[in-house]
Structure 1
Amino acid sequence: MRQLKPFLHSLRFKLFAVITLIMAPLIALLIINNAYSIDVVRNQVAQSNKNMLSLYMNQIDRNLQEVDNYLFNLSETETDLLELNKRKSENETVYTLAKLRIFQDLLQDITYYPSIDSFFVYSEPNEELIMTQTFGDTLEARETVKSDIVAMIEQASDDFDFSQWHAWKGKRDYHMFHLIKTGDVYVGAWVNSKKLIVPLSLIDLGESGAALLATDRLIPINHAELVEDNGIDLRFSKDSYSLSGKHAQYLVMGETSKEGGFSLIALVPESEILERLPDLQRISTLISIAGALFLLLFLYAMRRVFLLPIKSIVVAMRKLQGGKWDARLEKASSSTEFELMNETFNRMIGEIHELKINVYEEKLNHQRAELRHLQLQINPHFFLNSLNIIYNLATVRDYALIQEMSKCLVAYFRFMFRSSSYFVSLRDELKHSANYLRIQELRFPGIFAYRLDSPDSLLDIEVPPLVIQTIVENTIKHAVSIDKPIRIDVEVALEHADADGAPIVAILIRDTGPGFSEEALRRLKDAEGMPGEEGEHIGIWNVKRRLRLLYQDKASIAFYNERQIQGATVRITLPVQSA
């Protein structure tokens, strides 16, 4: 019994026992059959309604085409329109007679087009509208329609499409209109959208279904509340149907007019379509639902037996990825395999944590040693130059200059010996650089000058020691000669925030020397910038290496030649750090 208990408690046995109780292929077959039946019913309903929409749209297009033919014929053959192109003041009698004849013709001809509410003619030079009235008897209704027509004509710009019908939202209702422009006269027809919508009510789309007209931008002309309340997207497929709806799904089918910028759209609720399924299909649906419920029961069992233990392991791993090395798996009643995994996982994470701490401390010690080594590399390099300067001054026996030089060197080496820290204030760095430049100015009297400029607000920020002085020293080494005067400018400024939103400090070191050669720029812009075989640019490599160790990728150093003036420029950018 003791040997059998671990097996019965194992994950393999539990999975096998649960899976044998599920008839997955049968459930899948029932679900596929149910989905196929629903799709067939949808297609049948959609095709039936699309046929009706297409039939009615063709009837509307034929009526509109007949009106189009009449309007084109009127604009081409009616000579009285020429008089309306002229101003009334030129010959008022002729103008009035032409207007009356046109009105009589329109009033007589509209009886042959019962689908149209009104024909109208608008004289733009005289701002006068001639139209028939068949849509209302009240003066208010006639004035409303008149103002709508005039407003619609005023918005017909040069790029207006005069070849088709357009939907227009008037003060009360939507209307369909067509304009033809001949000279400065507009000839058109006007129909209330309600007249086009009336036959749509004969289509049986269910109690909550609807048929509607929509503009070319798919704005509903009627049943706007139904569309808005249910969140229905009126975009439809030309060949089939689309499903849309926020709370309830609707089949959306449509037909676009060939004569105008509007569409007929049918909305059929999917719930009423499914009610038309046969009883056998309903039984199949019930079986599918029962199978789905059974599958949910299986998933619940798998969740308790398999997914929850896996989830606890995944959560612990995510915590470890976030740096929380104290994450551990709690002891809980679970399968034998998971209990062993949890125990092993906790022990392994503890060992890894200790190992990671040891490796991290070793890495920090290595970086500290490397930084100190880099800073100490600078001292011997300048020490040799300093001895050479004192020697040269001694040869000319200028004791006052030797005293000043010695004082400057003492201050210089005092700063070097106390600069074992990783950062110093910008004030101290600039003071040290100015002391070094003064030494060089004494060394090259009359041919060397310098200037340091920094806002007082930046003097307390922290920068790596010897960064500015190293670049200045490299500039003097390669740019200063006794043949031509040279000037070095050091400028410090606060610039806009970087990509992380933090401000940066820019240090510009310019000289008026010959500039960098192409070969020097190529080597300096190299990713590592290793010094040459003879040790040239070792100071610059030192600076680049220290910036990478201290700031990773948040600091940068760039080398280029000025285009407008002669000389080289070194630009260093550092994140702001207060002292």
Structure 2
Amino acid sequence: MRKIKPVFNSLLFKLFLAVFAVIGPLLIVLVVNQYYSVSVIRNQVAQSNKNMLNIYMGEIDRNLEIVEKYLYQLSQDNSDLAYYQSREQHDFNEFLQAKLRLNNTLQSNADFYGAIDSVFVYTSAYDDFLNTQTFGSDLLERDSAKDEILQFIRTKPEPLQYGHWRILEGKDRNYLLYYIKNENIYVGAWVDIDKLIIPFKHLDFGDTGRALIANSSFAPLTSIWFVEREGIDISFKENMYAVSGDSKPFIVMKEHSNKGDFYLVALIPESKILEQLPFLQKISSVFLVIAILFLLFFIFIMRRIFLQPITQLVIAMKKLRKGNLDIRLPEQHNSTEFAVMNETFNHMISEIKDLKINIYEEKLNHQRAELKHLQLQINPHFFLNSLNIIYNLATVKNYAVIQEMAKCLANYFRFMFKSNSYFVSLKDEIMHTDNYLKIQQLRFPDTFVYTIQTPTELSECKIPPLMIQTLVENSIKHAFTMDESIEISVLVEQENKDFIKIKVQDTGEGFAEDILEILERDGSLTTEEGERIGIWNIKRRLSLLYKEKTDIHFLNEPGKGATVMMRLPLQNISIEGDQ
């Protein structure tokens, strides 16, 4: 079954989802209505201005077409242009007279073509340039424009297609240029591009709106700095309009000229369009803002009154699950229900803490009792063996050995009866083990030898009692035979600053494979008759006293016999309340 993520199952998410289910549709309707209204107004304004651009561009194209017809008629019908063809065919005085008559003709017709700045005639035979002077604000401006046009014509540009005006980008201004070439004669006209958008200055495009001219590559030829500053892109192709602008959006519309590769572009700030929204649409916007603010305020109130106490309770429960019994919830003054809940929770935690302490103390008492019981399990086991030894010695009437045996047994049981603590010094445990081995040698003389090696500096180290003696007893019980002698060795050494290692080894046949497998996987070998209870006793006491800080291993070493290795901490871990 798929598990639900906590965030989707939280009260905050469900509350927000419920509130949004109520207010959400209203917000969506308001947003859609607002967007639709803006879209409709934008389309209407765009269509209206698009029609206006079409009308203005049509008017510009018609004026340019009239000038084209005039230039064509002038180039075909004016006889004075014949004197411009060649210097060899006509006298210079005749050329000057023809130039005077042509100048009068151009000046008399200049007032009829106000849509352009100047009409000109250029002859490369005389390198002479003649033009009307009805444009510009001063002589310097007229001379500057004349020089730029003359410089261009002197490069002998290719003839233009009929009805096609060319954009000439000058140093300070850009021109719209048209000319007819007839051998060495150029008859043409030009107009400053800024003059084409003068009529648009009277239209209401808003405080920042404007019209401009762009070339066929959609690069602005007028208001260049404005387009760059506002980050407006006018390169869209097929749409009726586009919205562009970095800081403020503009509605961008454009119309292509039929007489040249240029566009008439209108930039209208969207804020100007939104001013035309009906009053009800503005009211919808106000309602939308109020609804959003209400939603946020509602969530804030619910979080403070309802969700925040629930969150505190959940956090406290998570800490409680991790075992922190000191967590307490603050008193709530805003809601009676949460005050009762927090008080009940704090009371419950206090009772759990007291109960856990009682259970822990009871567990400690149980461990103490179990350890004492485990230590007492050794006493009857060896006591029966000791009686058996004395019985056998009495049978053979070996009174000297009986006396030595009685002395060793007295020392042995004296250690057993006084050893009521969970730890004894290593020195006492070694002496006790040595005493036990002497008892066994008295019982079975010349049948086994033993060695005990322990560093002097470890003599006061504390270990659990009867650990080494039990392992040695196990070796004698399972490795000793009357047919051949065995050797038992006990080695104690310091592994590092935190642990000591105890190794008990014999030269018997070793552990059987099935027994060794059970021991290594920490299985139990204890039978109903109490067989092998010694090893189980050692492992159980190590587990109770040291938890996971010790280990014991059983193995058979080649050339030796059974080997038991214990690893005990140097720092004692005592049961609370026992010394």
TM-score by length of 1: 0.49
TM-score by length of 2: 0.49
